[in-house]
Structure 1
Amino acid sequence: MPKKFIKKQFFRNNSLKNWLGFSMIFLFFAFILYASHYVVNTLRADEKKKVENIKNALELLSSEKVISDQSRAFALKITQDNTSIPLILIDEKGEFSFQKNLDQEEENLRNNPKYLAQKIKSMAEYHQPLDVNLPFGTQKIYYEKSFLLSRLQSYPYLLISILLVFMLFSIWYFSTIEAQKRSFLWAGMAKETAHQIGTPLSSLLGWIELLKLESLKEKSILIEMQKDVHRLNLISERFSKIGSAPELKKQDLVKVCEEIFRYLKQRISSKVAFTFSHSSSVIYADINAELLGWVIENLVKNAVDAMKNEGELKLILKEQEDKVRILIQDNGPGIPQQNRKNVFKPGFTTKKRGWGLGLSLAKRIVEDYHRGQIFVLESDKNGTTFQVLLTKIKN
């Protein structure tokens, strides 16, 4: 078969694979947007049901009917258990009666009629007020969406923003490489973006499921959800900064690494014994925390994959004269000798679903932007150690 025909067929097949890859990525984003809207609508309906239960509980507690102590205690619990939905009760004269989850605004609500009128008007635009039929007259409950629901509503738009940033970054990145590699890397970069977003999104979907369990406190879950939202923002910032010279600042590497460690420890397999150690309590270096964090996360995730989600993983920070050593050490099967010189090349991967872009980007971040070094320090059947070497700044 002629070589020219083989070459043409190769690029044709690659083009088809790339288009299929892009289609899958966009379907993934479409699904996430759909799922986000579905979850938001479900939570909104749940919040409405909760407020209706509060209304019924108030009517029961004020009723002249004789009810059991258990029923009264249950009704009282319903009114007290709302720790997230802001609501206002307006009495039969149209005056403020009480509020829930609006403690910082209570003084204005109670003493400023104009402020109260504007507040209940904005609440009425969100939901029709509920009538509470009490023995001494009909009162009204006005309420608005919880802080949690407000944050969830912003997730789809955040994802779209990340996708746009990714596209701009891709255009810049591909303009710096050889033309024959671009077709492959377009699909690869899309896959890398989905991979980066995957961890916080999976966590968010998990937190949402936990919210459905009444025995759990919403505030503790909200804290973890806020961490994942912050992570999505961080991913967006990382892509935007790669396209231009990032700003390096004197920062404490111990603090930066510890934040990354705490976030990842809760989101990797419980079968991985993940530890973090440092030789000094404070170690300074000129870094871009967002981009360097990307490098460390990539190395950690690769190590977890190599160990097949089970084993020992260490993140170690050491000082060495005027240098700082960041070590990521696992006890996986190791990297074959013939592959070590290729691990940082774009497109090289041993994973069935990998695209071989994570380490090539890590190398660019460390060596081009931070003027440091990244390499395989050692690797054998007992595990692998990657080292990032940066210049230390004296305290």
Structure 2
Amino acid sequence: MNFSPKNKTTNIFLVIGSFIVVSLILWNTNSFFKTFKEEERLKMEIWATAQSEFLQSAEDVDLGSLHLKVFQNNTSTPMILINKDSSIRTNNIPSELATDSLYISKKLQQFQDENVPISIDQQGEHLATLYYGNSEVLNKLKFYPIALLLIILLFGAVIYFLFKTNKASEQNKLWAGMAKETAHQIGTPLSSLLGWNELLKTENISTDITKEIEKDIARLQTITERFSKIGSLPKLDASDIVIETRNAYDYLKRRSSKLIHFSFNSKVDNAQVLLNRSLYNWTIENLVKNGIDAMKGKGSIAIEIVPNGKHVNILVADTGHGIPKSSFNTIFNPGVTTKKRGWGLGLSLVKRIIEEYHNGKIKVLSSGKEGTIMQITLKVHQ
């Protein structure tokens, strides 16, 4: 099912058409219900007429046989007949309940709510009052529109779920394709830079310069490796979470403004976690850089590692302006950002790396005017 803007008009017609079909089905069902109810009413009036004639007739066998046939034909509609002497006669009501006065009283009220009672008179004399309820078939038909609506809603939910799944799959393919293409595009000038750096080494150039170039080349190679792994299942190795987190921390600390105060604390020793080092470091870098952006380049970044049973929590805190509570869940969706400038891709990428590749969890632990704390939870490798 294609819901692209190109087919927007078609989709609108499909929705309108579906609404019309559902409306016609409901209208037709309601009409059928009313017709069936009127037929039951007519049947009860015939029964009441036969009862009136029976009460007034002499001992006539043929007449009695006709009445008996009318009485016996009613096998589905429950009813209660109250004679003028207050005696009660029931039909299609369980015999064990027919003598229960409380049950009969409740049924009389129910029947009176469902249908107008029929007064049985003969030549101006009141003989009895007939109370009757809806037959089992009519009761089932009454709930048919509700069942139909539930089925339609369920069907709509399934279609919506399939559409969302298909859309997410298309987004994932787009992500993977863009990432791999980026890695491919970076690879060509990177190879050229390696060659140029080797050439510079043969010239009378300070080794400090070539070493710095090598560091930048190594950084580009790391970025290329990260992008190349998006869209494919990366290899995970048992790694010390403290060491890997500190490596990312140290790298960012050396390259950040002196106006940023960094702190690192770990309450865990040698916790082995299945990691892809390159992607995990990318995650920490994204969270720290988001924090620096939120602080506008001035404030404190704190990274803390704490045990959590069979898991370990990595907390990244900043002193930025915070995230609205209403955005705690949506902030990880592609395109959602609290920055004036930004694509809203960093946190969605972080979520993918942590939850899909490392089977972990990431969430906004807390956020306010004092800053934001992001929490990563990973399982300790036994």
Which category describes the TM-score, using the shorter chain as reference length? 0.3 to 0.5
RCO (CA 8 Å, sep 6+): is it higher in 1 or 2? 1
- Normalised by the length of structure 2, the TM-score is 0.47
- Normalised by the length of structure 1, the TM-score is 0.46
